[in-house]
Amino acid sequence: MQKASDDVSNIHSKFSLTLINPSSHYFSLIASLIVAVAITVTTYLGYFGSEDFWFRIPLVVMVLAITQLLDTRFTKKKEYSKVLHVSLFANLLWVAILLMGLLASVVLSKEISLFFITLGMFLFASIRIGVFTTTLGVIIKKIWAICLIQPLAMFLILIPQDMWIPMLTNPMALGYGIAFLIIASVWSLLTDKAGRPGMQSTHKTIQAYLASQKNDFTEAEELMEQRSNKTKISTSQIRLLSSNGNTEFRMILPEIHPGPYHPVGGSNIPYLIYKNFNSSAMVLHSISDHSLNLPSKNEVEIYLENLKNSKVKDEGLVCTEPVTVQINKARVIGLLFGKNPVLFLSLSPHGMEDIPSYMKTEIEQYAKNRDYTRIMIVDSHNAMGSKISKEDGEDMLKAAKSCLDSLMTKENYPIEFGYSNSNDMDVRTEDLGMGGLGIICLKINNKKYFIGWADANNMENGVREKIVENFAKRDCNLLEICTSDTHYAPVKPRNRNGYYQLGLITDSEKLSKWFLDIAEIAETKTTTAKYEILENQTDVKIMGQGIFEDFSKALDNSLKISKIFMIGAVCFFITSLFL
């Protein structure tokens, strides 16, 4: 599991590469047309020394717009927005080549060469080869037939007719131009094979990912399901049922991990489980990582359908008061239901990535040695951070073991509970999932304790502490706030993380008010209850470690190849400046 976590972190660190494209295709359309005007003006004022270009500007712009529409006919999914993004980058490269050609003539004190106009056109076509094959699903043979359509059409409108043949048959321009077309093609072929043997086509994987960002996730799920294997997955629950049988609440700890990313597979699994239990549940984050992702909606349905087959393993009427153990940064909060402890682990406000599996194994073994029946270990997932350090991990293990020891000495008391959520409140915000917020009030030994839950992908550091502080001002004991680690995203965030953690958009004061309002309602609903410990096992496909390892390898190899080709292409272009 830890290796899978490292691979996911490596993949996630490359997420910012997806932010290169402008956020709007309208921007790319307008910007590309403006750059086309700049190409026309630069060509005539800089290279021809003429102002006879005004009538050509609308013609060049019109040809560009028409060929942009034409390009959609050649792409796999007829995606106009991506065609516009490619066109913008290619036009920017052409105008950059023109400006560098002019700069070289000044710095090197040589005549201005029309060679750079033709070279810019060929580099425009080279960009099209690279991007069309990687992201738009066009094969090499086809792209060689169409790569020059847009730049050549612009060239023929831009350049006076009597100069077409001399400029297009210039041996130096042809030599450099064809060389760049070959470089782009070889780069495309090599990067497509970068993930082999584990991943047959890097480009198909990238195309499937990009399609899924437009809500067309069929290809992505097919690719992931092909690589997934059937595994027995456990789901643990604590069910609190009122004495009259009218009210129930569940703490649910699925062994699966939300993901891999919105909207694919089990990305929204916490909400779907929550809804499956009539919105009277907290779907908590287990000690798990992305190797335990469900790859497709089909597997999600199988998992959800099987949850109804959960079996009661234990039941009772009493539990202990909570125990909190803090060792340096590590904090563990525990409750004991019969011989079934529940531990909430956190480093907040310092934060960490997913808790590694070795810690779960060690805590479970310790609990077994102390004659506990079954243990639920919750990763509270309530602060941002990197991989847990060795020191923090050791502190957390010590805190967990100390908490288990303390729980053994605690007296048991009848349980009362009250639960409420944000379903009837307007809490829609970009850093919160579809499940919203929830609070359970536990009344034990005439003392009230609150546990908060948010259907969110982690929390901004320090937000949990501010909310706890605001509860304390009302004489309310908020033990912990847990997030579900949902990978659902109401909007597509354009940041390095690819998601908005709770508290990044919504400030802590507003969150405090929401939680306090919910807690007030939960408190009024407290009623005597019994608990049930439920277990479920489902045979379902999970993604496993291999797919992340292969994709991580493919990304790393592709970037290495790209760096080598980029350095080589730049050096090759620099030689042209001295001709």
Q: Where are the domains of the chain?
A: 21-161+170-212+549-576, 229-542
The beta strands (E) that lie in 76-163 are given as none
Q: What is the mean pLDDT of residues 207-215?
A: 90
HEC assignment per residue over 114-159: CHHHHHHHHHHHHHHHHHHHHHCCCCHHHHHHHCCHHHHHHHHHHC
pLDDT at 5: 61
Q: What is the mean pLDDT of residues 541-569?
A: 95
HEC assignment per residue over 169-219: CCHHHHHHHHHHHHHHHHHHHHHHCCCCCCCCCHHHHHHHHHHHCCCCCHH
Centroid of chain to Cα 28: 24
Strand 340-346 and strand 376-379: pairing?
parallel
* b/e 313-346 (16+ beta carbons within 10 angstroms → b): ebeeeebbbbbebebebbbbbbbbbbbbbbbbbb
More confident residue, 496 or 228: 228
The model's pLDDT over 465-479, given as tens digits with 9 standing for 90+, comes to: 999 999 999 999 999
Neighbour count for residue 492 (Cβ, 10 Å):
11
* Phi and psi torsions of 119, nearest 5°: -60, -40
Neighbour count for residue 561 (Cβ, 10 Å):
16
Q: Is 412 helix (H, G, I), strand (E, B) or coil?
A: strand
The model's pLDDT over 513-550, given as tens digits with 9 standing for 90+, comes to: 999 999 999 999 999 999 999 999 999 999 999 999 99
The model's pLDDT over 22-51, given as tens digits with 9 standing for 90+, comes to: 888 999 999 999 999 999 999 999 999 998
The model's pLDDT over 10-25, given as tens digits with 9 standing for 90+, comes to: 887 766 677 778 888 9
Contacts of 67 (CB under 8 A, 6+ apart): 149, 150, 153, 154
Q: Is 347 helix (H, G, I), strand (E, B) or coil?
A: coil
**N residues, the chain:** 579
Q: What is the mean pLDDT of residues 58-84?
A: 93
Q: What is the mean pLDDT of residues 468-492?
A: 96
| Opening angle at CA 56, ends 90 and 68, nearest 5 | 35
pLDDT at 4: 55
Interatomic CA distance for residues 73 and 70, integer angstroms? 6
Q: What is the mean pLDDT of residues 370-394?
A: 97
The model's pLDDT over 411-466, given as tens digits with 9 standing for 90+, comes to: 999 999 999 999 999 999 999 999 999 999 999 999 999 999 999 999 999 999 99
The model's pLDDT over 95-107, given as tens digits with 9 standing for 90+, comes to: 999 999 999 999 9
Q: What is the mean pLDDT of residues 140-153?
A: 96
Q: What is the mean pLDDT of residues 557-579?
A: 96
Q: Give the rounded percent of residues in the chain with a pLDDT score beyond 70.
A: 99
Q: Which two tokens stand for residue 315?
A: 């039941």
pLDDT at 498: 86
* Burial class for 227, CB neighbours closer than 10 Å (0-12, 13-18, 19+): middle
pLDDT band at 130 (very low <50, low <70, confident <90, very high): very high
Q: Which two tokens stand for residue 206?
A: 């990238």
pLDDT at 537: 97
8-state DSSP, 19: G
What is the greatest pairwise CA distance in the chain?
98
Instruction: Give the pTM.
Output: 0.92
Q: What is the mean pLDDT of residues 490-509?
A: 90
Interatomic CA distance for residues 376 and 532, integer angstroms? 13
Q: What is the mean pLDDT of residues 56-70?
A: 97
Q: What is the mean pLDDT of residues 188-203?
A: 95
Q: Is 89 helix (H, G, I), strand (E, B) or coil?
A: helix
Q: What is the mean pLDDT of residues 284-313?
A: 97
Mean pLDDT across the chain: 95
pLDDT at 52: 86
Q: Which two tokens stand for residue 449?
A: 């304790």
Residue 1 confidence (pLDDT) above 70: no
pLDDT at 545: 92
